[in-house]
Amino acid sequence: APSDPTSPGLAFGAPFYTEADLTGDGAVDTDDLSLLVAAVGTTSTDAGWSDVAAADLDGSGTIDVTDVAALSQRMLYDDGAFTLLEASTVDIQKAMASGELTAVELTQMYLDRIEAYDDQINSIITVNPHALEIAAELDKERAAGGPRSMLHGIPVIAKDNYNTVDMPTTAGCTCLQANQTSSDAQMIENLRADGAVILAKANLYEFAVNTTTDSSLGGTTTNPYAPGKTSGGSSGGSGASIAANFAVIGLGTDTGGSIRIPSSWNALVGVRSTVGLTSRDGIVPLALSQDTGGPMTRTVTDAAIALDAVAGSDPEDAATALTDSRRPASYTSFLDADSLDGARIGYDPTTIGTNATAQRLFADAVADLEAHGAEVVPLAITDMATIQTWSSGSTNEFGHDLNAYLTKFAAPAVPYRSLQDIVASGGDYLPALAGTLRTRSLVTQETYDAWRTQHDGEIAFGRRAIEGTMDAHDVDAIIYPSTSGPTGYSSGSNNRLSPFSALPAVTVPMGFASAALDGSTSDGAPIGLEFIGRAYDEGTLLGLAYGYEQGSLNRHAPALFPELEG
Ligand SMILES: NC(=O)CC[C@H](N)C(=O)O
């Protein structure tokens, strides 16, 4: 087995699977993968291309799914020429370490893609005017003393509700257009400290209120796999932009589903971590009983690397008090391609839903998990029906929490200091939100206090119900389709389990609705498989997600946004 190239020693250039360049063109790439996929089921001596023995990567005598997984793995750690499309942090660090690529060049390549393609999906609100300068500084620093971390020089796109000192933070609302904050959100500060380049701010559903992506400032973001259809939301700008390869890592926030729904519909890995693993300080809130920020990435490896950077305690967010004692030295230590072997995973049949695509893909996922050694057991989540009756905190908490944010962070140029002021503007926001903002502006402190007492109790109950179910059935995680609404682009209600228990959940690409895959059909968009687990057990979830990802390889780039020429 290969050494783990994601371990902190960065074992770049490890001599594993060098044979995987089946076409002999000097790179391990999708051409090699196509050849290998076509040869699955044959033996290494009758596959029919020149270097046949090479294709049997694990030496089992048969070309099988393990070889496909190995080749895909090899693509991530390719020693050949660097290619931007689907590049991971690992590819990039290798190319930068060898001198083949600089952070300035990489940043420019992503800026070129945004310029060439964002008109079609409208995912970006602001491009960082300082991105190239920041990258140039980081290149100098690398040349002088080496990289700070796996994120040195890595471009990140943040949802436009994370404060950034070099771009306004608007939550998509024209009312916050002038909100140039004087500090970064804690998660942004953590990423910059590790050497990341905050490349752009992404569109969202205004104030993160709904699960599409529409805002008065940013307009509507659409799906890179299904032109004209929604990218999901509310972190749909982050989802669409990362799917379209505008940067390496996206940041979203999730109150009721807003990381996982757009990750599901953009073939991304999305991490909604335990509430309290990451600081919310400096993020425009929706409901602090449920809000959590986290990464949205093309691979589980990138998600683990990003989570290492963003997690951490912060005196400004009391919920993070336990974080430092609960998180591992690195989430990358859980990235074991054999993680499914011997794992026990539960599913509640009532979560599969009636959507034929979700049903089909979920059945395939269960078969894949079993094929890689997991035991998948049906169970009934305790008090599932009760949990499903609860309301999101957004109705009663938004005014209270937004006002605290505005008091603490709003730039002097912002003419509003409260939700009441914004409502009184009579229209400096998305017209569709008029009623919602007004209702939420009328919630009194007494109502808020009573609600928090009730809802904090509900969330503690939800946590006991789910962790209790897991203990009773001795499972490592519970799975369900991330989105399972009855029709296309309807989320269903599985997304409520994680926010109503504060437990972590990770979504991974589970496949596409249509064999036509992209562009040609409106229902080609992908769906994710979600793993929910015990509090602060993100490591186990990422490990299982990695095993599933490597064994199923469901993600591909959207065909409409190919590598740019030259
Ligand atoms: N921001 C989100 O996660 C989506 C909002 C969700 N509907 C809520 O009100 O909780």
Per-residue model confidence as pLDDT tens digits over 173-200: 999 999 999 999 999 999 999 999 999 9
Indicate whether residue 285 lines ligand 1 (CB < 6 A).
Answer: no
Indicate whether residue 211 lines ligand 1 (CB < 6 A).
Answer: yes
Residue 292 C-alpha to ligand 1 middle, in angstroms?
A: 11
Length of the chain: 566
If one counts every other C-beta atom within 10 angstroms of the C-beta of residue 328, the result is 14
Q: What is the pLDDT of residues 220-238, one digit of tens each?
A: 999 998 888 999 999 999 9
Residue 120 C-alpha to ligand 1 middle, in angstroms?
A: 26
Cα-to-chain-centroid distance, residue 413: 33
Q: Which phi and psi angles does 154 have, rounded to 5°? A: -90, 120
Q: How confident is the model at residue 301 (pLDDT cuts 50, 70, 90)?
A: very high
**Considering only CA atoms, which residue is closest to atom 9 of ligand 1?**
394
Q: State the pLDDT at residue 68.
A: 63
Q: State the pLDDT at residue 82.
A: 87
Three-class SS of residue 491? coil
Q: What is the pLDDT of residues 148-172, one digit of tens each?
A: 999 999 999 999 999 999 999 999 9
Q: State the pLDDT at residue 48.
A: 46
Residue type, 12: F
Residue 309 has pLDDT above 80, yes or no: yes
Q: List, by residue number, the catalytic residues.
A: 159, 234, 258
Q: How confident is the model at residue 50 (pLDDT cuts 50, 70, 90)?
A: very low
Residue 268 C-alpha to ligand 1 middle, in angstroms?
A: 19
Q: State the pLDDT at residue 274.
A: 98
Q: Report how far residue 259's alpha carbon sits from residue 272's, in angstroms, rounded to the nearest whole number.
A: 7
Can you read off the two tokens belonging to residue 320?
Answer: 């993070």
Please provide the average confidence, as pLDDT, over all residues in the chain. 90
Distances from the Cα of 341 to the Cαs of 6, 163, 308, 344, 376, in angstroms?
20, 42, 25, 9, 11
End-to-end CA distance of the chain: 37
Indicate whether residue 366 lines ligand 1 (CB < 6 A).
Answer: no
Q: Report how far residue 553's alpha carbon sits from residue 261's, in angstroms, rounded to the nearest whole number.
A: 20
Compute the C-alpha angle 176/178/182, nearest 5°: 100
Q: What is the pLDDT of residues 433-489, one digit of tens each?
A: 999 999 999 999 999 999 999 999 999 999 999 999 999 999 999 999 999 988 878
**Considering only CA atoms, which residue is closest to atom 8 of ligand 1?**
256
Indicate whether residue 283 lines ligand 1 (CB < 6 A).
Answer: no
Residue 117 has pLDDT above 80, yes or no: yes
Q: State the pLDDT at residue 524.
A: 66
Residue 70 has pLDDT above 60, yes or no: yes
Q: List Cβ neighbours of 110 (8 Å cut-off, separation of 6 or more).
A: 84, 155, 199, 245, 246, 247
Distances from the Cα of 258 to the Cαs of 86, 216, 267, 435, 436, in angstroms?
23, 18, 14, 21, 18
Residues 295-299, mean pLDDT to the nearest whole number: 98
Q: 518 or 327, which is more confident?
A: 327
Q: Which residue from 213, 394, 490 has its CB within 8 A of the most atoms of ligand 1, so it is best to mutate?
A: 394
Distances from the Cα of 139 to the Cαs of 11, 54, 56, 96, 104, in angstroms?
21, 37, 39, 9, 7
Q: State the pLDDT at residue 272.
A: 98
Cis peptide before 234 (omega within 30 of 0): yes
Indicate whether residue 294 lines ligand 1 (CB < 6 A).
Answer: no
Residue 181 C-alpha to ligand 1 middle, in angstroms?
A: 24
Q: What is the pLDDT of residues 266-292, one digit of tens each?
A: 999 999 999 999 999 999 999 999 999
Residues 82-100, mean pLDDT to the nearest whole number: 92
Residue 264 C-alpha to ligand 1 middle, in angstroms?
A: 15
Cβ-contact 225, 180 below 8 angstroms: no
Q: State the pLDDT at residue 10.
A: 25
Q: State the pLDDT at residue 59.
A: 65
**Considering only CA atoms, which residue is closest to atom 6 of ligand 1?**
256
Buried-state track 335-368, b at ≥16 Cβ within 10 A, e below 16: bebebbeebebbbbeebbbebebbeebbeebbeb
Indicate whether residue 255 lines ligand 1 (CB < 6 A).
Answer: yes
Residue 537 has pLDDT above 80, yes or no: yes
Q: How confident is the model at residue 49 (pLDDT cuts 50, 70, 90)?
A: very low
Q: Report how far residue 54's alpha carbon sits from residue 78's, in angstroms, rounded to the nearest whole number.
A: 15
Residue 234 C-alpha to ligand 1 middle, in angstroms?
A: 7
Q: What percent of the chain has pLDDT over 70?
A: 85
Q: What share of the chain is helix, strand, coil (3-state, %, to 5)?
A: 40, 15, 45
**Considering only CA atoms, which residue is closest to atom 10 of ligand 1?**
256
